[in-house]
Structure formats: C-alpha cells, structure tokens
Amino acid sequence: MSWLKDWCAALAVCGAVWSGLGMPQAVAGQVRVLATGSSTVAPVVAELARRYEEAHPDVRIDVQTGGSSRGVSDVYNGLSHIGMVSRALKPGERGLHAYTIARDGIAVITHRDNPVTAIDKAGLQRIYRGEARDWGAVGGRIGAPIVVVNKSAAHSTLELFLDYLGLAPDAVEADIIVGDNQQGIKTVAGNPLAIGYVSIGAALQAQDEGTPIVLMTLDGVAPTVAHIRGGGYPITRPLNVVTREPATGVVGKLLEFARGDEGAAVIESLSFVPVR
C-alpha cells in the first residue's frame, strides 16, 4: 500500500533501521498502526479503529485480512503491530500476547429456499466426508445434490470446524473452496443446494441485510448471540488481537477502548459478544 511505502521511505531518510514492527511510533506527526489476519476479527477491529481515529486524528489504523495464520505470522515476524486471530493461541504461539475482545461461534449455513434448517454432528460428518451427497439423506428433497462448500487453509474457521467434526483436512470431500466469510456467504446465497460454514456474527449481519441464507440449528441449539454468551452453542471461539510485545501506547489505548462501554456497543452491533 502506498502509505506503507511512504512510511518506510520516511524511516530510511531519517536513518531508522526497521528490524520489525514493535509498538507504533509517530512518523511526521502521525502514528500508523497495521493490523493483519482474521477476516472474522477484521470488521470488529476496523470499526473500532474508525471510532478511535475520529477521537484521535493523529492515529491511522490500517486493517488487512488473510486469515488467522497470517495474523500470527505477521506479528511474530515483525510485519504488523496487531495480529487478528479468531481462535486461542496454540502452544507454539504462546510467546505472543493475546487479548480477547469478543466471542463468536461458527454457523452452518444454507440457502433460504432450502427446507433443511437443522442438522446434527453426525449429519455434517456424512456430508463433509462425501457419504451423504443428496439432501434427501438429511431430511431434504430427494434428488437434490448437496454442494459442499469448504474453507481454504490458513483460516481458523476451517480448523475449528474440522476439529468439531473430528475430521482431517484430507478427509473432506468439497465441491467449492472459499476464503473469507463473505466469500462463503456469497457462495451459499447464490446456490440453493449449497451448505457451508462461517462466523455467526458475519452470517447474522448478512441475514439482517437481506442476504438469502439460513443459520442452521446445530445439535438442537440455534446459532444466536445469546447461546454464544451462555455457552450452550457447540462451536464457539475467542476473537483475539495479538501483539509481539505487551500492548502499550496506541495499541494499549485501542484495547482499552475496545473493552470499554463504547467498544462493547460496537462489538454488539456487529453481532458478536463483547469481552470486558
């Protein structure tokens, strides 16, 4: 991005050595922060950043997606100030600092015209293993083929969903591979025979905007914010921002904002559960 090139050039002119991004520093009177990673966390951070920038015009926060793995890798390698990660840190990542700002779940979604609105783990296992290829096998219309939508690697949604099903990545028989939540939602919304899985928050927002999808009841529990908050939904996860060093300065203040009343209101407006 042009501003990042300009920033690097400014540092070079000043004789600065960029051995990796630590906490943000002011350049030409402006503090610039780069956040990369999860497409689930990105809308939350982007809206929090927009509100924060309004009150702090000397701060600019740029948000880029690419999956939770990118968020961890970029922070670890000093390529971003904030990693956006929609899962808990793994054992090998615990040298980083994770700050949970919200909770979310993973929804199984179908087209609004599909009469199948509920499913259980066993049914999903059969579908994603390629054993059930007709909607009639799971209570739908006989003769209607199931179009299986799966996530690409590097997305934590894929890891968590397959962990819930107890499936290895190579055990999945998918017809379509998608990247971020919006791709998954758009794919299912455009195909009455498709089934996929995405962030509950993203799916609820899309549904509110009129996108023709249904969030399926899973194991008898509806995918709602209330069930995430209460802990009854089968697949939930933390939404984290991750730093290489303890969060201080602008990043620390952004976290304080996220965990305050205004930040909680932003998070709730995006159909996620705020964490104080």
Beta strands in the chain (DSSP E): 26-27, 30-37, 59-65, 82-85, 97-111, 118-119, 147-151, 176-178, 194-199, 213-215, 217-218, 236-243, 273-274
Residues 45, 118 within the same domain: no
Residues 19, 82 within the same domain: yes
Residues 56, 80 within the same domain: yes
For residue 22, give the CATH number of its domain.
Answer: 3.40.190.10
The letter for the amino acid at 257 is F
The residue among 62, 67, 30 whose CA lies nearest residue 46 is 62
Residues 254, 224 within the same domain: no
Residues 219, 130 within the same domain: yes
Residues 85, 135 within the same domain: no
Contact call for residues 111 and 104 (beta carbons, < 8 A): no
Residues 38, 86 within the same domain: yes
Mean per-residue pLDDT for 143-166?
A: 95
pLDDT 10s digits, 179-213: 999 999 999 999 999 999 999 999 999 999 999 99
Query: By residue range, what is the domain housing residue 27?
Result: 2-102+239-274
Residues 108, 207 within the same domain: yes
206: its two tokens: 């899309």
Residues 216, 110 within the same domain: yes
Determine the pLDDT at residue 10.
Answer: 36
Percent of the chain with pLDDT over 90: 87
pLDDT 10s digits, 80-119: 999 999 999 999 998 999 999 999 999 999 999 999 999 9
The residue among 215, 242, 233, 264 whose CA lies nearest residue 105 is 233
Residues 260, 213 within the same domain: no
pLDDT 10s digits, 230-272: 999 999 999 999 999 999 999 999 999 999 999 999 999 999 9
Cα 209 to Cα 22, 118, 159, 270: the distances in Å are 39, 22, 28, 12
**Four-residue CA torsion sign, 11, 14, 19, 20:** negative
Residues 70, 182 within the same domain: no
Determine the pLDDT at residue 28.
Answer: 57
Higher model confidence: residue 20 or residue 272? 272
Total domains, the chain: 2
Residues 6, 23 within the same domain: yes
Residue 25 has pLDDT above 80, yes or no: no
What does the mean pLDDT of the chain come to? Answer: 91
Least confident of 15-19, 34-38, 141-145, 158-162: 15-19
